[in-house]
């Protein structure tokens, strides 16, 4: 019997949650065959839900990243000045990852390893986060920030400056050295100094000449 879209979506979410639970319990990535046997579904029914392992991973990634997507959209819709909005945009996701890491470091590390091994499957989430960040950059530029820089230049520079707060693996190596207060200082610095123009005697671009 064919599944309705709603029933299919609900079953995919259930099995994605099941797989995440198995990863936490067993400390390893869960193959497609194991997910099927643990799901309680027949092979035929399971195949109606997932085409292959990549499709299963997509459902697991969607489940894991759903809280990040929700807070990004919430921040983007909020009526905040651009500096505060950018801070919250990074802070809200960082807090989710930090709390997950503190709750179960081994499980969090395993999820990071799965993400790294299947990075092409999660690239769309990275691209979406960049798209949302560009919207905040446009708002900031309308208020006079990041003068003389293109949106793409600003995006690249900001991502490099805050990468420790967006790459989950950084928590594994830096742990409690990453704090919300430090992130706030970084975002303040971004808004104070990131520019491609000369302002008075202060240049918004680096004066270091990189050797060619």
Which alpha helices (H) appear in the chain, and where do they start and end? 5-26, 32-39, 43-49, 53-77, 82-103, 105-117, 119-142, 151-161, 163-166, 169-174, 180-193
Longest Cα–Cα distance of the chain, Å, equals 73
Confidence of residue 211 (pLDDT cuts 50, 70, 90): low
Phi, psi angle pair for 210, to nearest 5° = -75, 130
Strand partners, 202: 199
pLDDT tens sequence across 141-195: 999 999 999 999 999 999 999 999 999 999 999 999 999 999 999 999 999 988 8
Q: What is the pTM of this model?
A: 0.88
Pair of tokens at residue 98: 């930090």
- Map out the domains of the chain as residue ranges: 1-50, 67-203
Mean pLDDT, rounded, for 198-209: 48
Is 198 strand, coil or helix?
strand
Give the model's pLDDT for residue 5: 87
pLDDT tens sequence across 45-99: 999 999 999 999 999 999 999 999 999 999 999 999 999 999 999 999 999 999 9
The CATH fold of domain 67-203 = Tetracycline Repressor; domain 2 (1.10.357)
Q: Is the pLDDT of residue 209 over 60?
A: no
Is 199 strand, coil or helix?
strand
Give the model's pLDDT for residue 208: 40
Give the model's pLDDT for residue 199: 54
Q: Is the pLDDT of residue 206 over 50?
A: no
Q: What is the 3-state secondary structure (H, E, C) of 117-174?
A: HCHHHHHHHHHHHHHHHHHHHHHHHHCCCCCCCCHHHHHHHHHHHCHHHHCCHHHHHH
Nearest to 63 by CA among 102, 111, 95, 106: 111
Contact 75, 89 (CB under 8 A): yes
Mean pLDDT, rounded, for 9-15: 95
Taking the C-alpha atoms of residue 140 and residue 86, their distance in angstroms, rounded to an integer, is: 9
Confidence of residue 20 (pLDDT cuts 50, 70, 90): very high
Q: How many residues in total does the chain contain?
A: 212
Give the model's pLDDT for residue 202: 46
Give the model's pLDDT for residue 4: 86
Q: What is the mean pLDDT of the chain?
A: 91
Chain centroid to CA 23: 20
């Amino acid at each position: 019997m064919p599944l309705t879209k709603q029933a299919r979506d609900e079953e995919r979410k259930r099995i994605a949650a099941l797989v995440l639970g198995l990863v936490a319990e067993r400390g390893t990535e869960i193959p497609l065959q194991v997910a099927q046997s643990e799901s309680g579904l027949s092979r035929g029914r399971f195949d109606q839900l997932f085409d292959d392992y990549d499709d299963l991973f997509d459902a697991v990634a969607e489940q894991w990243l759903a809280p990040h997507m929700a807070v990004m959209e919430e921040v983007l819709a909020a009526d905040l000045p651009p500096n505060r909005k950018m801070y919250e945009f990074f802070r809200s996701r960082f807090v989710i990852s930090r709390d997950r890491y503190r709750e179960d470091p081994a499980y969090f590390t395993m999820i990071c390893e799965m993400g790294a091994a299947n990075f092409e499957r999660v690239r769309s989430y990275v691209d979406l986060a960049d798209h949302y960040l560009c919207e905040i950059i446009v708002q900031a530029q309308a208020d006079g920030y990041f003068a003389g820089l293109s949106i793409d230049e600003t995006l690249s520079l900001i991502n490099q400056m805050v990468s420790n707060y967006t790459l989950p693996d950084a928590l594994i190596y830096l742990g409690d050295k990453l704090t919300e207060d430090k992130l706030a200082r970084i975002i303040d610095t971004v808004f104070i100094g990131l520019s491609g123009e000369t302002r008075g005697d202060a240049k918004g671009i680096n004066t270091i000449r990189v050797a060619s």
